[in-house]
Amino acid sequence: MPTAIAPSAIPPPPHAPSATVAERQLSAPTLGTVVDEHLRWIGRWHRAAFFWREARLPAEALAMPTAFVQWVREAKDAELSHQPAIDRLVGLHEQLHRLARLVLMRAAEGDPPTLDSYAAVAERFEEFMAQCRRIERAFGAAGSSIDPLTGLRNRTGLYEELEREMNRFRRTGRPFCIALCDLDRFKSVNDTYGHDAGDRVLVATAGAVNRGIRNFDEAFRLGGEEILILLKDASLTEGAGVLERLRADIAAQQVLIADGRSISVTASFGVAEADLTVHPEDLPSIADRALYEAKRAGRNRVVLAGPETGSPDRP
């Protein structure tokens, strides 16, 4: 998942005094700046492409936007440059400006844009702007407790929530459960149908989880295809009933992918019940062992942690 952009680390020009952190933060372009600059640029490009002879626009009016190049440097400094979403954005930017330059070169020779050449630029522009806005929303969500793809909570606040439930358990004597849900053979979905299909499966699974758990329960996306479900005020038997219905719901749903086909997936669950002798931070490890047993036993099943599952040693 993308993380927030770090303060600028672009080195100053040779012999220039070093900028302060505050100065670098103020000068660092955002994706909002990139979007605004490209909106101005596309207006200049339209005038140049269709009214070149009449307008005789000066060279600076045709200049390529610079904020995106600076923003990519920021992404590299923040170690975001190898994320697929960033790679796609860079690729769209290169395609957009390559196609746009080609149209202007032909217009300068007296060859006005064809419908196809104009549509190619317009489509890349729309894709680039849409991707900018998607990443900008993801960066905003990365600083919060919400996973931007699935809408589930992320790890932020997970252990505080477990500690809160443990304190309630100590007061009331009513236990709670946690479950680890892992999609079966999810890698094959990405390999066979592509990562867009994988994202659709994750979104559909998150929707099934939200519908299948009770209003006061919580679900967290831990990363990849793994989801942690906190079943409050529930014994192991009660939690197993909720999760068995959820397992069946996930297996029954059909996920529509981009090429019009529908695919289905299954999920395995490992469940652990809270114990006053077990530290709440150890519960995910116990549930993970039960999840491993579910995978080993053939997948698409709910396995409850028992005494043999044990608790990891703590220092």
Query: Which residues are tagged catalytic?
Result: 225
Confirm if 173 and 233 have CB atoms less than 8 A apart.
no
Maximum Cα–Cα distance across the chain: 84
Confirm if 142 and 121 have CB atoms less than 8 A apart.
no
Q: What is the rounded end-to-end Cα distance, in angstroms, of the chain? A: 31
- In angstroms, the CA 264 to CA 192 distance is 13
- With H, G, I as helix, E, B as strand and everything else as coil, classify residue 234: coil
Beta strands 226-231 and 267-273 are: unpaired
- In angstroms, the CA 132 to CA 167 distance is 43
DSSP class of residue 83 equals S
- In angstroms, the CA 284 to CA 286 distance is 5
- Give the gyration radius of the chain's Cα atoms: 26
Amino acid at 119: A
Confirm if 104 and 51 have CB atoms less than 8 A apart.
no
Confirm if 147 and 154 have CB atoms less than 8 A apart.
yes
Other Cβ atoms within 10 Å of 282 Cβ, number:
17
DSSP class of residue 267 equals E
